[in-house]
Chain A
Amino acid sequence: MPKQLQYILKRLVYSVITVLVLITITFFLMHLMPGDPFTGTKAIQPEVKAALYAKYGLDKPLPEQFIRYVGNVLHGDFGVSLLDKRPVKDIIMEAFPVSAELGIRSLIFAFFIGLLLGIVAAVKRGTGWDTFSMFLALIGVSVPSFVLGAILQYFLGLKLYQATGNAIFPVMGWSTENSKLLPAFALAFGSMAVISRLMRTSMLDVLNQDYIKTAKAKGLSQSGIVWKHAVRNAIMPVVTVMGPMVASVLTGTFVIENIFAIPGLGKYFVQSVQMNDYTTIVGTTLFFGAFLVFANFVVDIIYGLLDPRIKLSGEKE
């Protein structure tokens, strides 16, 4: 399918350009920052400094520095953390899988629970189920994830522990399955709300279509109608918002990790903000930004393949 291939190639080119823009921004921000990468706590001797400058190419003219910087970044070399002298790459390799796991758990949670709530609300329209789902959705869009996280931590973590004497949901950490539940839920709640609202609207739209009446008339059972005909057609609008949602959930891990003391990228980020560890800040954000661009690319491709009605060239004709 040349048309689909063309679409994928086009999206790929855009993603690459976006990442290059991101690298350019970070490069110039690095130069705007106070001091240079070697302004540490101790004064460095001029000769050592000159040697370090030569090693990292900081004595070269700006364009050459830029090319070197892009090269380094593309090789995964984000410099050395000013705080504990570890390569930023190592920190990322260690912390990113944790963040990614939290993000993926939340996304799965948000997608399935949100979908289910939306379907139930639409099918049982006007009943208590509907009111309940939409009330939940309203809370979800207005209560920030970090507030929900803290509240869950307080009641299900602390109070439940005090009441029952055993820690069903640990207050912090990232080791057992149970310790992963609360953070993932807190992070997922907002997206779950958005998905359930979208799914409800979309389902109501589909349930009024003629082919649903036909299905009813030919004697198909309620569950057959809902699962075979309605859900399949109603799910597309939900898939369209998955791209931005993946980005927002993954970025959300930064805050949730700090509340639950999870050793992910976000925790390192906040630590380095507090300590003015510029190389780590820039390294982690740059890596994370590039990852988000990549995630968006994948979602776009999936969307393009899922819905044959989408013109794959990406233009309305």
Chain B
Amino acid sequence: MTNQQTTMQNSSTLSYSAKSHIDSSEFQWIGPDEKAMEAIARPTINFWKDAMGRLFKSKVAILCFVILAVLIVGAIFIPIFSPFDFSRQNVAFANQPPMWVDNVTHQVHLFGTDDLGRDTWVRIWMGARVSLTVAIAVTLIDCLVGTIYGGISGYLGGGVDNVMMRIIEVVGGVPYLIVVMLLMVVLPRGLTTIIIAYSLTGWTGMARLVRGQVLGLRSEEFIVAAESMGSRPSRVIAKHLAPNLLGIIVVNVTLDIPNVIFTEAFLSMLGLGIAPPQASWGTLCNDGILVFQMYPMQLVYPAVFISVTMLAFNLLGDQLRDALDPKLRR
């Protein structure tokens, strides 16, 4: 009603000011169009579309995506299509320089060969398979366990939260690398062992983070409103909590992956990596350091691959964090 009145007032002042030229009787009051008033003029952009739009505006982020895509595709296909087998030894061709052409088969060893005459280029891509598989598997397990644990702890609160956080305090207090080192000594060497050993204590960081977020979100009005309208906990979690947690989880997964790659390389340096003839970037670095003084390239290649991958994930994580930060939302 008030709306209608003000509109009428407006029309009357309008007709008054333009009295000399136009007769007000030519105009007719048609009333406000309620539908048109409620219509949303701009296309709706949800949070994720907005964030992704901002992410892809950044050249750095796109570059990181390209690098990671190349690494993953390369790790899958290059060992399949290469003429060399990663474990085939030929001691006569040991320690050859990059771009070296085999004088029997006339095939090019792009990165040369290692101390057993194995092709370095293929070994690096086989190493990429191991290193990336470990990194992604471990991070996903950590993320899953951490989110569930932290989610339950934060959502239930009270005594349960108290007990669960005490457990985390102890588990998280145990030095992560120490446990991994001990486990790697005892369990048989292999991909599964590495993944189990890494994910045993790695989840506590994610659990702490998620618990803090859930605790904060629980007291927000929209959660209280949903609960007071009778939403079941499962609905509150799926519809209201999960979407708000996703951002911080994605950022942390991206920033955790380089840590796992580093840990794997670190343990390989201590002789606790994957068993030969299998290779990972870490074991390749370890082999490379032994002959570094004479054949520096054998360390440089795997080191560059590790560094570029870590850099790409770190930068992507930073960019994602900026893109997902609501404070930067325009």
The chain A residues found within 8 Å of chain B, CB to CB, are 14-15, 17-18, 21-22, 25-26, 29, 32-33, 138, 141-144, 146-147, 150, 153-154, 158, 247, 251-252, 254-255, 258-259, 266, 269-270, 273-274, 278, 281-282, 285, 288-289, 292-293, 296
Q: Which residues of chain A have C-beta atoms less than 8 A from B32's C-beta?
A: none
A14→B173 CA distance, assembly (Å): 8
Is B296 within 8 A of A282, CB to CB? Answer: no
Q: Which residues of chain A have C-beta atoms less than 8 A from B174's C-beta?
A: 18, 21-22, 25, 289, 293
Q: Which residues of chain B have C-beta atoms less than 8 A from A142's C-beta?
A: 258, 307-308, 310-311, 314
B159 contacts partner chain A, Cβ-Cβ < 8 Å: no
Is A147 within 8 A of B293, CB to CB? Answer: no
Given A144-B262, A144-B307, answer yes or no on A273-B178 (Cβ-Cβ < 8 Å). no
A288→B271 CA distance, assembly (Å): 18
Given A17-B173, A29-B185, A251-B175; 13 other pairs, CB 8 A cutoff: A138-B315, A142-B308, A142-B314, A144-B266, A146-B265, A146-B289, A259-B289, A270-B271, A281-B185, A282-B185, A288-B175, A288-B178, A289-B179
Q: Which residues of chain B have C-beta atoms less than 8 A from A269's C-beta?
A: 181, 270
Q: How far is the CB of B314 from chain A (nearest CB, A)?
A: 6
Q: What are 15 of the A-B contact pairs (CB < 8 Å)?
A: A25-B179, A29-B183, A141-B258, A141-B310, A141-B311, A144-B262, A144-B266, A146-B265, A147-B306, A255-B270, A258-B270, A266-B270, A269-B181, A273-B185, A289-B174
B169 contacts partner chain A, Cβ-Cβ < 8 Å: yes
Is B285 within 8 A of A146, CB to CB? Answer: yes
A54→B67 CA distance, assembly (Å): 61
Contact of B270 among A273, A278, A289 (CB under 8 A): A273
Give per-residue flags for B155-197: 1 if the beta carbon is below 8 A from chain A beta carbons, else 0: 0000000000000011101110111011101100000000000
Q: Which residues of chain A have C-beta atoms less than 8 A from B169's C-beta?
A: 14
B144 contacts partner chain A, Cβ-Cβ < 8 Å: no
B143 contacts partner chain A, Cβ-Cβ < 8 Å: no
Q: Which residues of chain A have C-beta atoms less than 8 A from B314's C-beta?
A: 138, 141-142
A138→B318 CA distance, assembly (Å): 12
B292 contacts partner chain A, Cβ-Cβ < 8 Å: yes
B269 contacts partner chain A, Cβ-Cβ < 8 Å: yes
CB within 8 Å of A: which B201-257 residues = none
Q: How far is the CB of A289 from chain B (nearest CB, A)?
A: 4
Q: How far is the CB of A272 from chain B (nearest CB, A)?
A: 9
Is A292 within 8 A of B175, CB to CB? Answer: yes
Q: Which residues of chain A have C-beta atoms less than 8 A from B136's C-beta?
A: none
Q: Which residues of chain A have C-beta atoms less than 8 A from B272's C-beta?
A: 273
Q: How far is the CB of B220 from chain A (nearest CB, A)?
A: 16
Is B181 within 8 A of A258, CB to CB? Answer: no
Q: Which residues of chain A have C-beta atoms less than 8 A from B72's C-beta?
A: none
Q: By DSSP majority rule, is chain B's interface helix, strand, loop, or mixed?
A: helix
Is A293 within 8 A of B182, CB to CB? Answer: no
Q: Which residue of A has the minimal Cβ distance to B311?
A: A142
Task: Choose among A22, A150, A254, A266 the residue with the greatest number of B CB atoms under 10 Å from its CB.
Answer: A150
A143→B306 CA distance, assembly (Å): 8
Q: Which residue of A has the minimal Cβ distance to B309?
A: A142
A111→B45 CA distance, assembly (Å): 44
Given A14-B169, A154-B293, A259-B289, answer yes or no on A247-B175 (Cβ-Cβ < 8 Å). yes
Q: How far is the CB of B194 from chain A (nearest CB, A)?
A: 15
Q: How far is the CB of B9 from chain A (nearest CB, A)?
A: 46
A252→B308 CA distance, assembly (Å): 21
Q: How far is the CB of B261 from chain A (nearest CB, A)?
A: 9
Is B186 within 8 A of A33, CB to CB? Answer: yes
A147→B185 CA distance, assembly (Å): 24
A202→B306 CA distance, assembly (Å): 29
A288→B272 CA distance, assembly (Å): 17
Given A26-B182, A255-B269, answer yes or no on A144-B173 (Cβ-Cβ < 8 Å). no
Is B293 within 8 A of A146, CB to CB? Answer: no
Contact of A251 among B173, B177, B303 (CB under 8 A): B177
Q: Which residues of chain A have C-beta atoms less than 8 A from B173's C-beta?
A: 14-15, 17-18, 293, 296
Given A146-B269, A292-B178, answer yes or no on A278-B289 (Cβ-Cβ < 8 Å). no
B299 contacts partner chain A, Cβ-Cβ < 8 Å: yes
Contact of A158 among B170, B175, B285, B293 (CB under 8 A): B293
Q: Which residues of chain B have C-beta atoms less than 8 A from A144's C-beta?
A: 262, 265-266, 285, 303, 306-307, 310
Q: Which residues of chain B have C-beta atoms less than 8 A from A266's C-beta?
A: 270
Is B269 within 8 A of A14, CB to CB? Answer: no
Q: Which residues of chain A have C-beta atoms less than 8 A from B182's C-beta?
A: 25-26, 29, 281-282, 285
Instruction: Kindly list the 5 A-B residue pairs having the minimum CB-CB distance in the complex, ordered from nearest.
Output: A18-B173, A142-B311, A289-B178, A147-B303, A142-B310
Q: How far is the CB of B19 from chain A (nearest CB, A)?
A: 55
Q: Which residues of chain B have C-beta atoms less than 8 A from A18's C-beta?
A: 170, 173-174
A252→B311 CA distance, assembly (Å): 20
Is B170 within 8 A of A21, CB to CB? Answer: yes
Give per-residue flags for B260-278: 1 if the beta carbon is below 8 A from chain A beta carbons, else 0: 0010011001111000000
A146→B182 CA distance, assembly (Å): 21
Q: How far is the CB of A246 from chain B (nearest CB, A)?
A: 11
Is A255 within 8 A of B310, CB to CB? Answer: no
Given A33-B186, A141-B314, A255-B269, answer yes or no on A147-B175 (Cβ-Cβ < 8 Å). no
